[in-house]
């Protein structure tokens, strides 16, 4: 049975985590040019305006389908500079994922957004998880800055770009969010 989720808007330092909107189309089109983002998300390649709008519609459907919260990371009323998602799993757990546009990197956007969504997530779930490729230092440093702890290496855990990849498993429990 489908259990729809309620929409949320969260403040994350100077950023707002909000539902995607039509004025985020240029952001989705920019994200489609990143070498990794389309491999780990449903950002389409190639991405024209229609494809970007379809991506935005899919993010809204995640709520009605109960599959999770997919939020744009934005500053004020400006278009999105990134995305962060919280995906319910089994046994009162949920996993998170995120990306930041190349033009907005280097300002701890992911860690700031992750801290806010993790606080919300720990109000709903007993354990939060993240999966990160070992080479992706910017991602796992962002996670560690928030308090996520590395539990180990999941061997050949996921297909990314047509290859089985090892992924670090990170987790966060209630009371562990830093700051």
Ligand X SMILES: CC(C)(COP(=O)(O)OP(=O)(O)OC[C@H]1O[C@@H](n2cnc3c(N)ncnc32)[C@H](O)[C@@H]1OP(=O)(O)O)[C@@H](O)C(=O)NCCC(=O)NCCS
CB nearer ligand X, residue 66 or residue 177:
177
Cβ–Cβ under 8 Å, residues 70 and 85: yes
Rounded Cα distance between 165 and 93, Å, is 22
Regarding 45 and contact with ligand X (CB under 6 A), the answer is no
CB nearer ligand X, residue 26 or residue 66:
26
CB nearer ligand X, residue 40 or residue 74:
40
Instruction: Determine which residue in the list 145, 150, 157, 160 makes contact with ligand X, applying CB under 6 A.
Output: 145
Regarding 52 and contact with ligand X (CB under 6 A), the answer is no
Regarding 70 and contact with ligand X (CB under 6 A), the answer is no
Q: Which two tokens mark 46? A: 């190639």
Regarding 40 and contact with ligand X (CB under 6 A), the answer is yes
Q: How far is the CB of 75 from ligand X (least distance, A)?
A: 13
- How many of the chain's residues bind ligand X (CB under 6 A)? 22
Q: How far is CA 8 from CA 63, 69, 89, in A?
A: 10, 8, 19
Chain centroid to CA 93? 15
HEC string for 112-176: HHHHHHHHHHHCCCCEEEEEECCCCHHHHHHHHHHCCEEEEEEEEEEEECCEEEEEEEEEECCCC
Per-residue binding string, ligand X, 102-141, x by CB under 6 A, is ---xxxxxxx--------------------x---xxxx-x
Positions touching ligand X (CB under 6 A) are: 34, 36-37, 40, 98-100, 105-111, 132, 136-139, 141-142, 145
């Amino acid at each position: 049975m489908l259990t729809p989720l309620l929409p949320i808007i969260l403040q994350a330092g100077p950023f707002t985590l909000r539902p995607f909107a039509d004025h985020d189309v240029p952001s989705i089109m920019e994200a489609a040019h990143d070498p990794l983002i389309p491999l780990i998300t449903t950002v389409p390649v190639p991405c024209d305006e229609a494809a970007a709008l379809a991506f935005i519609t899919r993010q809204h459907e995640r709520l009605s389908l109960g599959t999770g919260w997919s939020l744009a990371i934005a500053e004020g009323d400006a278009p999105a500079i990134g995305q962060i998602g919280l995906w319910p799993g089994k046994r009162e757990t949920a996993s998170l994922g995120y990306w930041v546009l190349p033009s907005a990197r280097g300002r701890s956007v992911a860690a700031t957004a992750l801290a806010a969504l993790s606080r919300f997530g720990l109000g709903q779930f007993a354990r939060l998880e993240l999966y990160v490729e070992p080479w992706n230092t910017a991602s796992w440093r962002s996670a560690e800055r928030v308090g996520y702890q590395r539990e180990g290496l999941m061997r050949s855990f996921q297909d990314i770009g047509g290859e089985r990849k090892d992924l670090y498993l990170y987790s966060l429990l209630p009371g562990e969010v830093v700051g």
